[in-house]
A and B are shown apart, each in its own frame.
Chain A
Amino acid sequence: MADRSPAPDTPELRERWGAFEFNESYRARADKAIARYPEGRQRSAVMPLLDLAQRQVGEETNTQGWLPLPVIEYVADYLDMPVIRVLEVASFYFMYNMKPVGKYHVQVCGTTPCMLRGSDGLFETCKKRGMKKGHVSEDGLWTLTEVECMGNCATAPMVQINDDNYEDLTPERLDTILDALAKGEQPKAGTQEPGRHTSEPANALSSLEAMVDENHDYRSEWS
């Protein structure tokens, strides 16, 4: 698992992010998130607010975004809650980046189903492009992270890049995607298997065949 400790609290960090505040559009979205909860329970909105803050940081830095300590403090202040409680949330969930990331945060799943379906090859592909786990590549474009199961085992192996999942990957398909992203294009998200739409069986149905048209009780057939 990656290091989840916050980026060090340096004067430079304070100088760069000390004055952070939501811009108009993010503020509107933040207030909308807060309004979903009853009066006095605004701190329930801490997760959407952290996400919004991360996105705004991303826009400002042209990356996926991350959460510097002053931004975490800003969110705590915005919700009138102790900053340690916000840090607890931010450091718990993997979707919050505690350290700066590149423009594209390539999260390769390395859990068993993906590994069996060839995620090692995906790591190789990434490595060949100069990515290193937990580091931002030199051109500032990529950050590679190995993550645990993302719930796409039926279309393994998979990679999550920023907000999109790319599934049924091979090293070549991943290469195409990364090339497209590097050029600033938006490749098609989801499965990359030709002819497949989502996570339906890749070829013909191989299991639960009796269930296609109607419900079927298999229990009597268990031995």
Chain B
Amino acid sequence: MKRRDFFKIVTTSGAAAAVAGCQQSAERILPLVVPNEQIVPGVAAWFSTVCRECPAGCGVIARNREGRVVKLEGNPDHPVNRGALCLRGQAALQGAYHPDRFAGPQQRQGGALRAVSWDEALKLVAGKIGELRQAGRSKAVALVTQLENGSLAVLMDRWTQALGTRPRVSLEPFGYEAIRAANRIVFNRDAIPHYAFEEAEVILSLGADFIETWLSNVSYARAFKRMHGFREGRAGTFIHVEPRQSLTAANADEWVRNAPGTEGLLALAILRAMIDEGLADRRFSEAVAGIDVKKVAEESGVSAETIKHIATLFGRARPGLAVGGGVAVTGTNATPTLVAINLLNAATGAPGRTIRFGPDSAYGKVTPYGEVAQLVQAMAKGEIDVLLVGPRTNPAFTLPGGLKFADAARKVGLVVSFANQPDETTALAHLVLPDTHWLETWGDYAPREGVIGLMQPTMSPVRDALPMGDVLLRAARAVLGTEEGKGPLPWASFEQYLKTAWEPLLRGQLDGWQAALQQGGVWRETPPAPVTAKIGAVQASRPKLDGDPGGLVLLAYPSFRFYDGRAAGAAWLQEAPDTMTQAVWEAWVEIARETATKLGIAQGDVVRVSSPHGAIELPAYVSASLHPSAVAIPIGHRYAPYHARYVAGSPTPMNPVALLPAGADPASGAAAYLGVRVTLTKTGTRRPLAILQATHDQDDRELAQHVDLSTAREQALRGKPKEHEFLSMYPPQHYPGYRWGMTIDVDQCVGCQACVVACQAENNVPVVGKAQAAYGRQQHWLRIERWAEGRPERPLNVFLPMLCQHCEVAPCEPVCPVFAAYRTEEGLNGQVYNRCVGTRYCGNNCPYHVRRFNWYDQEFPAPLDVQLNPDVTVRQLGVMEKCTMCIQRIVAGKDRARDEKRSVRDGDILTACQQTCPTQAITFGNLKDDQSEVSKLAHSPRAYHVLEELGTRPSVTYLKKVTRGHA
């Protein structure tokens, strides 16, 4: 008997036994009782709405299958994000399907939250407010919500007026108040303008992390790459000043490491140098009268040559754009710092061109932190009896530890939270009235003047929930004793109010409401308003820091994965690595190598970080690039209860905000995130981080390649000299129909991880948890590698999205004993799950390490399983999987084309990663069509294949990063 026959017998008889052994289960199929006209089972319906994961307000279209949303995409028509979404937007679905979502209203009884009915809950709230009202103490009612500026905001303000409560507080932990204050001082506008990154020749960022969380990260990352990307033909320059090598810093042509808190001084020194070199008007001399470049150089740790070099670059830019005010650099000197930055902008002619007042950002309506602090103080004094905390607002987590919010909240008679999942604030609440998720609700939000996004329910609520607007209306009517249709708040529901409010906006338009719903809102161009700069002396100094004067400055910076922590419930985000450290799940404290050596701390050692306001214990991440006087901890890391299945042990606090003082920048009322020095002590225990990339050193493998600007320009003009071609023993493949291929422009990639999460959402990629991830068993089909070249303390970073290369001569295929990995006629490497027997030979043989094995039957805890894409198989234990280039989208694209009796056109099919990419680094299409975008890019002089010398002939072509005289 031959070996083959043995396998045949065993597998066949095994299959027969499997068929015979299990009884055919009786499966029911249920028809609809009354058909829904908008839903055809099996066909996706799309609904447009607005992403409310942060105040940027990107447009979203939600893909609804059989009544449940399974995927979110950016709204291509929306002026803010133009079809792209960041990773938090992609992961918002996991908030809607959060396994810990409250099943309905809850009341605290005997220390624990127990279910109550809506009527009971509402009676309790209305009763308490009514009591206070009768006692003439309406001002003891406080309403705190996230930033709202649409109909809900108006309704809530009417509500506070009708009931005579305290004015509403719009709490945004990252409020950028200092930018407003500085604009008031210099440009006489209390607003945050629209920054036209794409119009700038040189961008100078003094701590503005605009690729991560700053104001509107999708919009600005996109605009930045239009100015900076070689592909767009405009290779502008970007200089970033920050004590820590953030993701934004890693994207800079020059990252300048300064001492914490010296951004203002540096801005003035740069202005001084510009004046000295005749690159700025003499009028500005007044502002920089006392500034000595050498002294600033000494204080900031940035050499005088560097300051002059920046001044020359920035001074010659017509126009340039200087941005600042990132959360991590906001200290008690934030306003003077931003005034100095404004002067730089005025000197380069930015106002009206790269800085546009008029299309002002929604952030202008945030209640300054100083006023929030006053409310907390009032609570602590017992002046507040009812505190209503809106959804997605978690003051117990986001307010500085020095403010002692939890203690103050305990003095409040009735704390009501509208959160729909448990958090630190619901732990203090007496009553939880779960709000609908933003995917389930009506609403509107204007991210900037002239752009009003309209929200509609994209599905019915996953759990019993009521829109906050409805609850407020019902409670108010109960307090005031009025009926529906009468009184100051006559609307039956928030939906009705919204539609009434939109009527004047759409007057005279045929089907205006339908059109607005379909488009996702209404928008018009808002012309920039002219502003003049007021030049005056600036008192830029270093920020006041609390704590041990001999300690290290704490850099608490917003995590681009979790924002202020509101997104942290999504397991996808916990497992999408932080691009710079490649760490997943747990938070870490980034310690400079010098400090670590001095204190004898190794990576993974648990370190106690203490300030006068608190202490947290985190594993250490030793960094070669961090400023030696600082330690850095990301803000936003927290676990949801259901994460217990992914992280062993009981969770410990990971929140650096708990270490911060209550103080604020006096001029603007901004919270002083750069406000404390901390001390480090070794705890003696170890908790190694789960880091997905073992090394950032390419070891001369030339995986991520780059070319300098002048060579790139020359090659773009004259073509690339012919290189040695690799000989192959394999005949070229014949493609009868399409040949699918992809290009990835490494120069466009900013490493934001949006594609990673989009892929996970689209392709039912499971989450494995910290221990498995640390073991290298993460299931991502697509990852972003960070490769660092040059000096480790100031490297050149190249981000390389790595996925199945769909090789023409694929090493994975010939080693598969069962023909599960095979080459399709359209240029893909197919992977047939039902054929795969799990030998893992293919994974071993893949030089790109992109194949993933299912070591377990992965679970999707309910109701997260409802999110699964019905067009993609959920893989089982023992099966190998990998990127399919979104084969389900290719099949759907071909199906659409056949319906229209044509062939697939360029741009018909977008892969999930390509669709969400803010900088359009990824292009997919038919390589056989010479006119397709992907073909053109694949023949660019910058094109190369990763590990080309192996002769795999990949279908994925990379375009080299273009460097601009990097040090």
Do A and B associate with each other? no
Residues of A within 8 A of B (CB): none
Partner-A contacts on B (CB < 8 A) = none
